[in-house]
Amino acid sequence: MVIFIQRMLSPLVLATFLSTVVAGQDNKPGTGSCFEANVFTGKVIKHTSKFHLPIPELSTGIDINIARQTYGRKDWEQRRRYPFIGIGITYTNYGIDSVYGRCIGIYPNITLPLIRTKKLEWTIRIGNGIGYVTKRYGRHPITDTINNAIGSHINDYFSFNTDIRYHINKHWDVQAGINFTHISDASYHQPNLGINLLGQHIGVRYYPVSRTPAYIHKDLKPLSRRWLLEARGAMAFTQSDAPYGPLFPVYMASVYGSKRWISKNKAFAGIDYSYHEGTAAFLKNNEILPGKEANNSYKSSVFIGNEFLMGRVGVMLQLGFYLKQTYLKQDIYYQKIGGNFYLVQKEKGFIKEFFITGLLKTHKSVAELAEFGIGLGI
């Protein structure tokens, strides 16, 4: 099974952790590197009427993050105000072990500053990776059939945190904040409603050497506010609604225009198309609309969004509205979140960008599919 490691942060993490380049003589090895630990409590959210699991009284867990602050070795680090790049490891006890089981996740992440002062800061942290869940839907024993949220042990794990952090000294920080996590397998296996957990946390950060590296400040010239015509082709697989059913391919194509702004974002708008083999098979098997299966198995939509650029990585948020749906109707709008990894980035030439892409498509908080593909910009 293909696992969606969205948001494409892994190259950023590897580049940061493997780098041996320092900003100057004032930066000792390990400056800006930290170990962060948070304990959290929360509540499982019943995000759809189809969610039949009992809601636990309380969910608890611990999150460990090994991170390093960027200092301006790359231009994007300065433009993003020197974010932290990290690898997180998390353990979640949802509260009803016989139904939900427990989740162990590992995920690359990035922490972006919103407000910074000498002693206080407000940040957001976004990460995505893999989560292993000890309980999934099963036909036997009977208690496993209650779990209509998770269809496989291996799932996508998404994490969002926001923190208020106080700097005690150059070695220690304390923080408190709100956290949200989502796990699902993007319909590779059914059932696939996913589990959403909203909670709060407190924690500490420890810097073995020092909290603040010597930043590199360059006189960066603004990048041009250029327009690009972009195209993306991708593919996904979804399982039929019945558990243990067959996997069907979904073929997708997108065409859109983008405009770079403030040197670190791309706003875009365009058209999505997708063809769903599973819907066509459903219509044929049930003798619904004979001869018109293909015409009732594709979707078209218009969308807008923004891509947050960080070197060769772009984190994408997209909102779309359907012009046409398949025979099996869903909400009139959808969201996509994920990322691009750029193999080609040029300011001049016919092909200015070439990238691989991974996106998670959802309807509100229920995942529909995970798509993977390639794209280019001219």
CA pair distance 269, 318, nearest whole angstrom: 9
Chain segment 57-94, per-residue pLDDT in tens: 999 999 999 999 999 999 999 999 999 999 999 999 99
Residue 367: the pLDDT is: 84
pTM: 0.85
Domain ranges of the chain: 6-206, 227-377
Per-residue pLDDT at 13 exceeds 80: no
Fold designation for 6-206: Porin (2.40.160)
Q: Which residues of 123-156 are buried (b: 16+ CB within 10 A; e: fewer)?
A: bebbbbbbbbbebbbeeeeeeeebbbbbbbeebb
Cis peptide before 191 (omega within 30 of 0): yes
Chain segment 315-327, per-residue pLDDT in tens: 999 999 999 999 9
Residue 138: the pLDDT is: 66
pLDDT bracket for residue 24 (50, 70, 90):
very low
Chain segment 321-347, per-residue pLDDT in tens: 999 999 999 999 999 999 999 999 999
Fold designation for 227-377: Porin (2.40.160)
pLDDT bracket for residue 305 (50, 70, 90):
very high
Average pLDDT in the 268-295 region? 96
- Fold match between 6-206 and 227-377? yes
